[in-house]
Amino acid sequence: MATPLSFDRFVAALRAEGLTVKVVGDAATHTRTSSSRPWGPVNGVMIHHTVTRRPADPVSMCRIGYSGLPGPLCHGVITKDGVVHVVGYGRTNHAGGGDPKVLARVIAEDYGDRPPAPTKGNDDGVDGNARYYGFECENLGDGRDPWPAVQVEAMERAAAAVCRAHGWSSRSVIGHREWSDDKVDPKGQPFTNLADFREDVADRLKRRPSTPSTYTVRSGDTLGAIAKKHGTTVAALVRLNGIKDPDRIAVGQTIRLK
């Protein structure tokens, strides 16, 4: 069991794993946590699919929620372009009820390829919203909607980032369907066998996280924000890029980070 990461540490861990992270609105304080609905101790990472198709916006849906289930519905939404949109923090409505036997095995990290098949679900299971970080991943969930390689890699990186920050192994990463007997996500290739996904996360945990060497300036960016996002300083970016005026950078400009 572990104390949840602070919001800043969570975002920093994702970025340190080489992910592009967008913090949406008031994500740091957008939460379902209350005195009667705790957040933590935390034990693992849960992967979901959104059951959405464009033009529906999965980020907005997961941030706001829907009738009968208010948002946030996860901590991060991983869109098909591989961007992680952080929409809430603390307790979020993503896991619902699940099998206590699964929770015990995830805590112990002592199962083989997969945890025991769940026999409980949302109506009769134990509270998972307090125990898991949740990532909703943009996909229709019909088994045919493709999972782009850049998105799958981002999912691996996000899971590895949280595990690395807590010192967990890849056995702390499960799919929603491995938690609850009334869920099917994530569905479709390459998630037919989630043991393969965990193996890829395990391989990533053996390596130092790779960070990007350049960044392309977007509308609204400042050099200070870019430095903070990538764990460097304005002075270092000025020196690396020969920038004469730190207050003047242009959209589309390529910034060397190291």
pLDDT digits (tens, 9 = 90+) for 49-101: 999 999 999 999 999 999 989 999 999 999 999 999 999 999 999 999 999 99
Residue with tokens 């960016």: 221
Query: Do 228 and 109 have their domain in common?
Result: no
Query: Do 241 and 174 have their domain in common?
Result: no
Q: Compare 207 and 181 and report the one with higher pLDDT.
A: 181
65, containing H or E segment:
strand 65-66
Query: Do 70 and 14 have their domain in common?
Result: yes
CATH number at residue 238: 3.10.350.10
Query: Do 122 and 222 have their domain in common?
Result: no
What pLDDT sits at residue 233? Answer: 87
Query: Do 37 and 146 have their domain in common?
Result: yes
Query: Do 154 and 129 have their domain in common?
Result: yes
In a domain, 1, yes or no: no
What pLDDT sits at residue 6? Answer: 96
Residue 222 has pLDDT above 80, yes or no: yes
- The answer to whether the Cα torsion of 66, 69, 70, 72 is positive or negative is negative
Query: Do 157 and 227 have their domain in common?
Result: no
In a domain, 71, yes or no: yes
Going by C-alpha positions, the residue among 65, 85, 83, 66 that lies closest to residue 75 is: 85
- Report how far residue 85's alpha carbon sits from residue 60's, in angstroms, rounded to the nearest whole number: 10
What pLDDT sits at residue 209? Answer: 72
Query: Do 128 and 42 have their domain in common?
Result: yes
State whether residue 229 is helix, strand or coil. helix
In a domain, 146, yes or no: yes
Domain membership of residue 247 as a residue range: 214-256
Give pLDDT tens digits for 148-163.
999 999 999 999 999 9
Query: Do 159 and 233 have their domain in common?
Result: no
Query: Do 189 and 224 have their domain in common?
Result: no
Query: Do 134 and 162 have their domain in common?
Result: yes
Query: Do 47 and 80 have their domain in common?
Result: yes
Number of structural domains found in the chain: 2
pTM of the model: 0.83
